[in-house]
Amino acid sequence: MPKGERDREGWLSNFSTELQVCGPGLGVSPATITSVENDYLAYKFMLDTEDFFKAKMHERTQYKDTLFNGAIGTVIATYPASPVLPASPVQVAAGIMHRVENLVQVIKGSTGYTEAIGQALKIIVPGKTPGNLTPLEKTVLKPTGKVVENTSTEIKIKWTKGDTDGVIVYVNAAATTAPAAGAKVDAEAAINWVEYGRYNFSPFVDTRKNAGTQPETRMYKLQFFEKDKPVGVQSDIIKVVAAIY
């Protein structure tokens, strides 16, 4: 979210508008979509009101100065009229930014989320590193990994940590609970992820031997960490066919 107040208003306006389009497909409820719109309208109202009173204050200061210091014979208008405020929007609770932060995490974790949606909502921050991100921007920070080597002895995955301390590497493990007969299984949700390790420098190197004598599919996910705490969201799944015997 931008730092300038009017820039924040513009960001919230775009976020609210785009959420009305893509929110239902991401599992965002109508009530939440309406709540975001109300948050935007409330914030805009207070900014507009603040500017309105600043303008009226300036007008009254000029009148006061002319009244007291104006030359004899200066034509002066009648006293400034009492200001009339526009109608107030729906009252909302404090914490707009925190509500947006929480919603962004939900959106980024949705199975329907894509980079194009992130760009439309303006929750992707290109060209920035964790060291100069705002708290909101950190919630959507997402690492990318690339397999740069896959041999009979090791798998290398390269990543860029920016100003974070490093990445957490998660790997797929054998499922501990079989799905019920006839149950529909989300392939990704059914994966049993375990933390394999935390690494300060790229690349990550996997030298584990295959369980048997046949190739096996290994899956990895990455997540940044700072001061030993996870930051942002996990990367897309990286799939590799391993043949390390």
What type of residue sits at position 190? A
Q: Which CATH number is 215's domain given?
A: 2.60.40.10
Q: Are residues 81 and 155 in the same domain?
A: no
Q: With contact defined as beta carbons under 8 Å apart, do 18 and 99 qualify?
A: no
Q: Is the pLDDT of residue 133 over 80?
A: no
Q: Which of 10, 230, 153 is nearest to 18 (CA)?
A: 10
Among candidate residues 81, 99, 124, the one where a domain is terminated = 124
Q: Are residues 91 and 193 in the same domain?
A: no
Q: Are residues 89 and 169 in the same domain?
A: no
Which structural domain range is residue 155 located in?
135-242
Q: Are residues 95 and 157 in the same domain?
A: no
Encode pLDDT of 72-126 as tens digits. 988 888 998 888 888 999 999 999 999 999 999 999 989 999 988 998 999 886 5
pTM: 0.52
Q: Give the whole-angstrom CA distance, residue 165 versus residue 203.
A: 14
Count Cβ neighbours within 10 Å for each residue of 26-51 and write b for 16 or more, e otherwise.
bebeeeebebbbbbbbbbbbeeeeee
